[in-house]
Structure 1
């Protein structure tokens, strides 16, 4: 059963967490019980024989890779760039195979080494490898790494935690202010129910399903706009609901993991949006792709033009983000579209500074900024949804399948 997919999952999980709640309230985290619950629920969630073995094999593979690189960096005190690059490539290799398989062999939409959440686990592994490289992590105890990798609440859909932050909470044998954290976790779960099982369900069942088919069969400005808004809202409430579930369960287990959404549709510009939307993913790409690429270009002196460096790095960041979602043209276009938005926004800021342009800061300008950002973001959601792709394919051959959200 997919994590957080049905109320029944929460009933079983809630019963399993009762002993842990009591134990933490009494001052003991009972890590052995956390591990036991994790094993049981991972076995339940990934019960397909191939999927379960893929999950276990992935953990063994990445653990060997991380420990080998830890030995290389710490014990041998070596830091060759090409060894680092090779380690990164080996870390992402399983994910690449999973993403490429459907494109290479359409008859096999799912790779035998694929499983739900492999992308998020890969981000965790890369976080450890990169920070070993940067000398920010000096040791990675195997048991601790495995628990970080397979952390039950976030394994399927994030949020993407960082190893050093997680390590501090893992090593603390008690949880400070647990009653507050517990109450917050329960609230997050109920809010997630509202988002996913009520609002998201109503949108997809009574609005999105119908308008997506209409936009595919009869594509025009109006039907695409309807599809754009309905899909964007559904995406938010469904995904934010999952994130709230993960945060809530983590809180109940004594972990205060990062949030993933902070009123994203109140963003005043595209940069503000990415500071509010899928925060752990956007910050991961910012820290480990954008900033590192900017630094590399400047250190290697490939260019002295700071604007060019920034723009190239934006396209690299969002291009990779698009590819991460899948090797499909509309995911790639979605990523590049956001790169264009970021580059355009930076150009607008430079224009204002150069011409000493001052815009009044009042409710009207704020509202206009929010409205422009909101609609720009939702155009991206329309691209991401694949509905235009369905419309194109349907116009070529009406027997092609219709979207089914």
Structure 2
């Protein structure tokens, strides 16, 4: 069984959601039921890969210990970087080991669970979380099955507020209705549209550059329908369970600039990076007076932020280049916004918005092409043909 794949998962999901719907309609709590179903889903998904199951359980236990230790630290300012590093260490090991042709220790969803754990630790440090989560709340937040494997990346305080919120029957029915629509639309995206694009995408690698251009458009469509479809299903299932998991996409292909794109694409990832990487890099640079100008500080912070995003996807050349590429785009656009008189004069004009949209979309699709790894494969194919 795999999350949001295969008949067995969807049959189990249907049963879970029907039970949750009935209980919510009759104003009964589904907290323990949802936790039970999340644990059961983990068991069925990982039972054929016991090494991953053990790694997942180890991560959950380690994270809980780190959370408790963080809450008891007296001098948090000095020890916080160590706690964050310890929380991220399993992910770092999982990402780095394949470089040395060593696999293992990882499990499905480790990237997203790591960000959840790091968020808890940092917000305890910031005193936004007054006390550590209980064992059940912590386990439920990390293992919540709709968002375990590929997000969206929720925040613990928002998630817990949802569970402690008592909705009226009318409020729940409205949320559940929205959830059913999102679940069905996500199924259509992932099972129908992404499948149709995939059939036309995976032909033999041609040496003609027009092959790469065609692949770029097809891969962009496939990536959107596949990932947006999964995200819609995850959010829809969450809604039926009574949780308003944040949306991950907001019409990204109408973006008129690269910042607008990252406010619309993989929203929970970009907001997490903004809150826990970009903002903190900026504040640290400003406190230390690393750069004289705020613009330079912001540009460097964008480079660090997006390069970090590339490494988070994986320690391979295509992912790293993808992160650096978007760092350059974000930093360059920051300079362009602040310094260009041409931009300030024309930014609200229709012709400029259309031109900016067209350029932005092709820059984004070029990034997806890099992300796919196909250009490196294409180059190696050309070299082998010589």
TM-score (norm 2): 0.95
Who is 1:119 aligned against?
111
276-285 vs 303-312, which deviates more?
303-312
Who is 1:133 aligned against?
125
Q: Matches of 2:343 and 2:240 in 1, distance apart? A: 51
Who is 2:192 aligned against?
198
Determine if the alignment matches structure 1 residue 2 to structure 2 residue 13: no
Shift of the alpha carbon at 1:281? Answer: 0.1
Q: Matches of 1:59 and 1:185 in 2, distance apart? A: 28
SS for the counterpart of 2:340 is helix
CA deviations over 1:279-335 (Å, ceiling 9, x no partner):
000010011100011001111222222111111101110110000111111111111
Written as runs of structure 1 = structure 2, the 5 A alignment for 1:133-172 is 133-140=125-132, 141-172=134-165
Who is 1:403 aligned against?
none
Structure 1 unmatched ranges of 5 or more: 73-77, 399-405
Who is 1:375 aligned against?
362
Q: Matches of 2:344 and 2:91 in 1, distance apart? A: 47
Who is 1:50 aligned against?
51
CA deviations over 1:165-219 (Å, ceiling 9, x no partner):
11111223546601011111110111111111011000011x1112xx33xx41x
Asked whether the equivalents of residues 24 and 175 of structure 1 are also in contact (C-alpha less than 8 Å), the reply is: no
Who is 1:249 aligned against?
237
Give the 3 Å change call, closer, same or farther, for CA 366–46 of structure 1 in structure 2: same
Give the 3 Å change call, closer, same or farther, for CA 237–313 of structure 1 in structure 2: same
Written as runs of structure 1 = structure 2, the 5 A alignment for 1:4-403 is 4-47=4-47, 48-72=49-73, 78-104=74-100, 106=101, 108=102, 110-111=103-104, 113-140=105-132, 141-174=134-167, 177-205=171-199, 207-210=200-203, 213-214=204-205, 217-218=206-207, 220-353=208-341, 357-359=344-346, 361-397=348-384
Q: Matches of 1:357 and 1:96 in 2, distance apart? A: 42
Shift of the alpha carbon at 1:90? Answer: 0.3
Asked whether the equivalents of residues 323 and 331 of structure 1 are also in contact (C-alpha less than 8 Å), the reply is: yes
Shift of the alpha carbon at 1:114? Answer: 0.7
Structure 2 unmatched ranges of 5 or more: none
Q: Matches of 1:201 and 1:193 in 2, distance apart? A: 11
Shift of the alpha carbon at 1:362? Answer: 4.5
CA deviations over 1:363-389 (Å, ceiling 9, x no partner):
433222211111010010110100011
Give the 3 Å change call, closer, same or farther, for CA 9–222 of structure 1 in structure 2: same
Q: Matches of 1:7 and 1:242 in 2, distance apart? A: 15
Q: Matches of 2:139 and 2:152 in 1, distance apart? A: 17
Asked whether the equivalents of residues 303 and 324 of structure 2 are also in contact (C-alpha less than 8 Å), the reply is: yes
Q: Matches of 1:333 and 1:272 in 2, distance apart? A: 21
Shift of the alpha carbon at 1:163? Answer: 1.1
Q: Matches of 1:147 and 1:359 in 2, distance apart? A: 50
Shift of the alpha carbon at 1:67? Answer: 1.1
Structure 1 residue ranges (4+ consecutive) displaced by more than 6 angstroms after TM superposition: none
- Alpha-carbon RMSD: 1.6
TM-score (norm 1): 0.91
CA deviations over 1:327-364 (Å, ceiling 9, x no partner):
111111111111111122122222334x6851174543
Give the 3 Å change call, closer, same or farther, for CA 175–293 of structure 1 in structure 2: farther
Shift of the alpha carbon at 1:85? Answer: 0.6
SS for the counterpart of 1:236 is helix
SS for the counterpart of 2:380 is helix
